[in-house]
Structure formats: structure tokens, C-alpha cells
Amino acid sequence: MGSTRLRRPPAPAAAERARSIAARGGSASLVGTGAPPASPIVHHVRADGSTVLLLSDDEPVLERVRGAGADGCAVMLELTDRAPVELREPVRALLWITGTLRAPNLICARRIAVGVAEAQPHPRLLDLGHGATLVRLDPGSAVLSDAEGSAALSPVELARAKPDPFCRYEQQWLAHLEEAHPELFLALSRHLPTTLRDTRGARIRPLGVDRCGLRLRVEAPERDHDVRLAWDEEATTVEQLRKELGKLVGCPFQGAAST
């Protein structure tokens, strides 16, 4: 991710940040299986911290899972969280979940798939039993790495945490801001450290938003810097988010944002 943290204002706790990554979806890769990395067709982290994966029937790891029976086999799932806009360094966070992978019977798998569809509808779930197999990853530990730092998380911490209220639509909103309201980022530049404000050729880009503040990526000629700008007050609704952004910009903001 190649960034430096120039300020340390309040940020969501590590478990909440991890939950937000899981809720956003991103890309997933199953590694540490003794076979080539597998790319799940569908992945979903459930409320209890376990992860449901739909894999193509030709994935080599499935043979190992079936051979392990009820004991399952140890694997690691890597979730990659990318920025909401096209950045030269797009990866903003990684979440690794290590645990035991098991294959439930088809009846149980269908029941689990229905639960996933209710929380995260996906047409490929219909492939279950028709070229795809559902497996469940029961977590033993998790590790988060992002611009705020690195943290080890227990399954209990992961299960208890709630995702940030804005995590599921920040991509659409921030992409809209950059495209339709570029003047905002010029106004936000006054909050940057002097060394960055005076950097020739630097470009200020949206990186993320959460209940605690706004994250910016400063793409300078020689390196990138991530900066967090804290809200005066925690925001949990769209109206509060607009109000806090308006304070940073220096005028009321009515740009699009919806849940």
C-alpha cells in the first residue's frame, strides 16, 4: 500500500475495519491449501465470523477438503480491499482469515446458501450442485493490515464487530465526489500537513470514508501518503456525513449520498 501516516486522528477499531472489508466484498483468494490459490465464485463472511465460499468443482483444494472429512483442513483466506477510485496503488487493506475448511453435505449446503442469498444476493449461488460446491471456513484467527496499522484479531472479536455504516456505498459516493465535485478536494487540501500542501504535482484523491472521518490519498511525484481527516462529531447517518464534510470544506454540502 506504500503510504505513510502523517496524522493519527480517531479511527474505527481494527475489528470494525476488518468487518467493513468483509462486508464490502472485494476480491478473495484461498491460499495455503497445498494447491494453487483458489478464487471463490462467491464469498461471504457471516455474522458468527465464519466464511461461506462457493468454489468451482474443478478447484484442486476440494479434493483435499473431502479427504479430510469432518476434521477439515487448514487454509487461509485473503481478502483484498481496493480503493473506490483508480489509484496508482489501489490496494488499501488486506485481511487474512486463517481457519479450518469443511464441506457440508448438500442439504446443509443449500440451507447455508439460502442464508447467504438473504444477506448478499448473488446469481451464482444457483450454481450450487451444478458445477459448484459450497464450503465453510471456521476461523481460528485473523490479521488486518491497512493504513491505520496491523492487528491480530480473534474469532470472537471478528464475530462481535459491526461494519461501518457507510462501508457498503462509500465506493459509489466517493467516486461521484471525485468526478462531479473536484473542487472539494482543493478545499480539503488546506487540512493537509504543510509539507504535502506545498508538494508540486501532488494530486489529492478520495481513499475512504467512515463514521470517524474521511481518508485521502495524496499522490505525490515520488511517493504516496495517506491522510485521515477526522469529523468533529461521529457520523452515523447520511445527513450527519454531509454536515461533517461541509465543516471540513468550509460550506454546506448537498452532494449525492444515499444508503
Number of domains in the chain: 2
Pairing of the two strands 132-146 and 91-102: antiparallel
User: In which domain, by residue range, is 36 found?
Assistant: 14-160
Q: Are the CB atoms for 15 and 158 separated by under 8 Å? A: yes
Check residue 35 and give its pLDDT.
78
Residue 117 in any domain: the answer is yes
Q: Write down which residue in 142, 160, 178 finishes a domain.
A: 160
Residue 186 inside a domain? The answer is yes
> Residues 120, 214: one domain?
no
Q: Are residues 26 and 151 in the same domain?
A: yes
Claim to verify: residue 18 and residue 88 sit in the same structural domain = yes
Torsion sign (Cα): 196, 197, 200, 203: positive
Check whether residue 40 and residue 155 sit in a common domain.
yes
pLDDT score at 6: 43
Q: Is residue 6 part of a domain?
A: no
Give the residue from 94, 128, 160 where a domain finishes: 160
pLDDT, residue 9, reads 63
SS3 81: strand
Cell of 168: 457498503
Q: Which residue has the higher pLDDT, 10 or 76?
A: 76
Q: How far apart are CA 225 and CA 207, in angstroms?
A: 11
Cell 478545499 belongs to residue: 187
- Residue where one domain finishes, among candidates 110, 132, 160: 160
Looking at the structure, tell me whether residues 76 and 177 fall in a common domain.
no
Do 204 and 122 share a structural domain? no
Is 256 contained in some domain?
Answer: no
Distinct helix (H) and strand (E) counts, the chain: 8, 10
pLDDT score for 10: 84
- 95-125 pLDDT, tens digit per residue, is 999 999 999 999 999 999 999 999 999 999 9
pLDDT above 90 (res 41): yes
How far, in whole angstroms, is CA 63 from its chain's centroid?
Answer: 30
| pLDDT tens column, 133-175 | 999 999 999 999 998 899 999 999 999 999 999 999 999 999 9
d(Cα 105, Cα 144) in Å, to the nearest integer? Answer: 31
Q: Identify whether 101 is part of a domain.
A: yes
